Amino acid sequence: MSNESETLKDNLVTHHKGTHAKISFVEGKSVAVVEATSTYIPIEEFKKIFSEIGKLVDSKKITKLIFDKRKLTVFHQPSMEWYFTEWKEQMWHKGLKTHRKILPDNKVFQQSVKIGREKIKEEHPKLKFNEMDIQYKNTVQDAIDN
Amino acid sequence: MPKISIEELKIELEKSKKEIVLLNSKYEVQVGELKKEVSYLKEQLMAQQDMLKMAVDYADKLGKELKNLKKRIDSGNFQSIH
């Protein structure tokens, strides 16, 4: 399920459409949404997408990022490591401290995310992401509102 | 068969050469895209394999912990924290 089928109270403005993901921002709010549009995002594309979000964080002063992973079926630990240890750290210093995630309805994927995150936490206990407000939500609207 | 002058032949030859160059570059682009797609698929399969291994390892770990817990309960050496 993608957020296209959801009815949103807020207006999402498309900022960038990549081959594997789409970036939008919420009109009138400092919230950005990145939506996976394929079952897997290669690490090279993943880094491109998040560098594009970095630009949006600068220009729109984004403080909350919603990562809609519902289309994904494969979890890639090296991408997650880069995302947590490099990208999120840089963004923390720019004011992006709130992260909302929407996971696919796939137990193996969900469990892998959990294990992967714990692994990164164990290996990097001093990183800022341990202090970030990270929550899992079921819908984009819920993620925008809470 | 109509007669073709050398000049006309030269023009035809030039056209054909240009077409070959164009086809070649199109082919190169298509091969490049295909290679990229194959490398993405390879990366995806490896990631899928790693993800499943991670889940299996975790299930094994849980299985061992359950076994140990059962042993402790069976031996009577178990104290509930509640």
For residue B44, give how far its alpha carbon lies from the nearest alpha carbon of chain A (Å).
Answer: 7
From chain A, pick out residues whose CB is under 8 angstroms from the CB of B35.
none
Dihedral angle computed from the Cα positions of residues B40, B45, B51 and B57, in that order, rounded to the nearest 10 degrees: -150
Q: Is the Cβ pair B54, A42 closer than 8 Å?
A: no
Percent of chain B with pLDDT over 90: 61
Q: What is the pLDDT of residue A1?
A: 45
DSSP, residue by residue, chain A: --GGGS--SSPEEEEEE-SSEEEEEETTSSEEEEEE-SS---HHHHHHHHHHHHHHHHHHT--EEEEE-TT-----HHHHHHIIIIIHHHHHTTT--EEEEE--S-HHHHHHHHHHHHHHHHH-TTSGGGGSEEEE-SSHHHHHH-
pLDDT digits (tens, 9 = 90+) for A99-145: 999 999 998 899 888 888 888 988 998 888 788 999 999 999 999 99
For residue B42, give how far its alpha carbon lies from the nearest alpha carbon of chain A (Å).
Answer: 10
- Tell whether B37 is within 8 A of chain A (Cβ): no
pLDDT digits (tens, 9 = 90+) for A58-106: 999 999 999 999 999 998 999 999 999 999 999 999 999 999 999 999 9
Q: What is the pLDDT of residue A97?
A: 95
More confident residue, B2 or A46: A46
- ipTM of this model? 0.77
Once rounded to an integer, what is the mean pLDDT over residues A25-50? 96
Out of A40, A73, A77, whose CB is closest to B50? A77
From chain B, pick out residues whose CB is under 8 angstroms from the CB of A39.
44
If you average pLDDT over every residue of chain A, what do you get? 92
Please tell me the distance from the alpha carbon of residue B59 to that of residue B61, in angstroms, as a whole number.
5
pLDDT digits (tens, 9 = 90+) for B16-66: 999 999 999 999 999 999 999 999 999 999 999 998 898 888 889 889 999
For residue B50, give how far its alpha carbon lies from the nearest alpha carbon of chain A (Å).
Answer: 8
Please tell me the distance from the alpha carbon of residue B38 to that of residue A56, in angstroms, as a whole number.
31
User: Tokens for B53?
Assistant: 């291994």
From chain B, pick out residues whose CB is under 8 angstroms from the CB of A69.
none
For residue B82, give how far its alpha carbon lies from the nearest alpha carbon of chain A (Å).
Answer: 26
Q: Is the Cβ pair A108, B55 closer than 8 Å?
A: yes
Q: How many CB pairs under 8 A join A and B?
A: 39
